[in-house]
Chain A
Amino acid sequence: MTVTMMKDVALAVKPPRSMYLKFPFGSPMGRPGDVQKQTAVLKAMLDGLITIDTPGMILEPSLSYGGDA
């Protein structure tokens, strides 16, 4: 299960399971010290691991980076 910050790359490369986040390059898990968000990203990935049943599916969870990216 992978995060992607470029949805068109995930559509082209087709990882088995991916999760699109509008997070900036260099911070796929969230801001420095934001334990809550970093944990939420991991938990969303773990959920996707279990729930995705279609090869190449891209989840778009409602996780925001917060503030100015």
Chain B
Amino acid sequence: MAATIESVEKVVQENYVPEFHYLKYDTTPFQPFTKDLASAKGALITTGGVFLKGEPPFQDNYGLGDPSYREIPSDVDTKKLMHYHEHYDHTNASKDINCIFPIERMRQLAKEGTIGPLAETFYSFMGFVPIAHPLLTRTAPQVARKLKKELVDYVLIAPV
């Protein structure tokens, strides 16, 4: 049976955070994209819990989640990429990191000129964040500020 908002909320409420509900919005911010893709600077964000070998992994905190993020150099050797996230099947990601973080596909598109330059830094979250407040008020705004500082024109997000 396909997962629904109600089914996921029930699992999270019963097992981890009784107060959990998905955030719901009536409106959304929107900025028309007017640049030429061949010259625009792009970045990638995954919620697959990707981190660099040797750096601190994400933590599940007994089901309370982890609102932190990791910076991933866009030219990183993919052999250095690890992933930790208690709440999805890692079988495919363990075989090919591009299933959750298509970094090599982005590099290929940039190399062939389909897209412009890549940001120096890509970002990774661990997408199980049932207590959203620190994500909304601290870590997501931090990442947004860093993307703006690097003059990134667009972001592609791969949720797991």
Contacts and interface: CB of A to CB of B under 8 A. Distances in A.
Contacts, number: 119
Nearest to B90: A26
**Size range of the chain A interface in the assembly:** 35 or more
Contact of A55 (B8, B24, B30): B30
B109 A26 contact: no
14 contacts: A2-B157, A3-B157, A3-B158, A9-B22, A13-B24, A14-B28, A15-B157, A16-B30, A24-B89, A26-B100, A27-B99, A32-B92, A35-B105, A56-B28
A63 interface: no
B18 interface: no
Interface of B: 3-5, 8, 22-33, 37, 48, 88-93, 95-96, 98-100, 102, 105-106, 108-109, 114-115, 154-160
A28 B100 contact: yes
Contacts of A46: 37, 109, 114-115, 156
A13 B23 contact: yes
